[in-house]
């Protein structure tokens, strides 16, 4: 159930990105070559966007939600082999959801984006990344909220 809520929240965010007109750019996407490292909020937000576009492998460790706290606790207790099985099942579920999203919002795969601003809270536990989204002659800015959880910056699914 939580997996479904999480996937739906992710898809809803993706839909919100393409709901308003967006600006085309010939510049290469700022996320090309983004590594798995999510030590900064900006890199985590860009990685999140690549996952939404189906251009990067789904990674549960990139997402945070209060509703997923129990899931995180359970995952920590799993052996690496068990975790690999769970990760694969989640990837397959995300792939199915992504295919449905692309049917509804095909332009999601062609949106390009870059980080405009990265603001980390004074306590260092949360951040907001403002992304500039570009698509077919229009532009829009969207905020992505993140939290620092288990030493990594993760997209706050509760604020999508």
Q: Which of 91, 40, 56, 84 is nearest to 48 (CA)?
A: 56
Determine the 3-state secondary structure of 98 from DSSP. helix
pLDDT grade, residue 118 (50/70/90)? very high
The tokens for 1 are 């159930």
Q: What pLDDT does residue 42 have?
A: 94
What CATH number should be reported for the domain whose range is 2-159?
3.10.450
Q: How far apart are CA 21 and CA 14, in angstroms?
A: 14
Q: How far apart are CA 31 and CA 38, in angstroms?
A: 13
pLDDT in tens, 19-48: 433 322 222 334 444 444 458 999 999 998
Report the percentage of the chain scoring pLDDT > 90: 25
pLDDT grade, residue 65 (50/70/90)? confident
- CA-CA-CA-CA torsion sign (106, 44, 56, 3): negative
Q: What pLDDT does residue 127 have?
A: 97
In this model, does residue 77 exceed pLDDT 70?
A: yes
Please report, for the chain, the start and end positions of each structural domain, with discontinuous segments joined by +.
Answer: 2-159
pLDDT in tens, 85-105: 888 888 888 888 888 888 888
């Amino acid at each position: 159930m939580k997996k479904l809520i999480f996937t739906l929240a992710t898809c809803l965010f993706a839909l919100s990105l393409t709901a308003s007109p967006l600006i085309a750019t010939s510049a290469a996407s700022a996320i090309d070559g983004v590594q798995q490292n999510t030590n900064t909020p900006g890199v985590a937000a860009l990685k999140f966007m690549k996952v939404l576009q189906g251009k990067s492998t789904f990674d549960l460790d990139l997402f945070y939600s209060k509703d997923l706290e129990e899931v995180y606790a359970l995952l920590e207790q799993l052996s690496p082999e068990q975790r690999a099985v769970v990760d694969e099942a989640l990837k397959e579920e995300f792939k199915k959801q992504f295919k449905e999203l692309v049917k509804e919002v095909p332009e999601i795969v062609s949106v390009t984006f870059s980080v405009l601003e990265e603001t980390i809270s004074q306590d260092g536990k949360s951040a907001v990344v403002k992304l500039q989204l570009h698509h077919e002659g229009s532009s829009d800015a969207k905020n992505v909220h993140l939290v620092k959880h288990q030493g990594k910056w993760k997209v706050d699914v509760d604020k999508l």
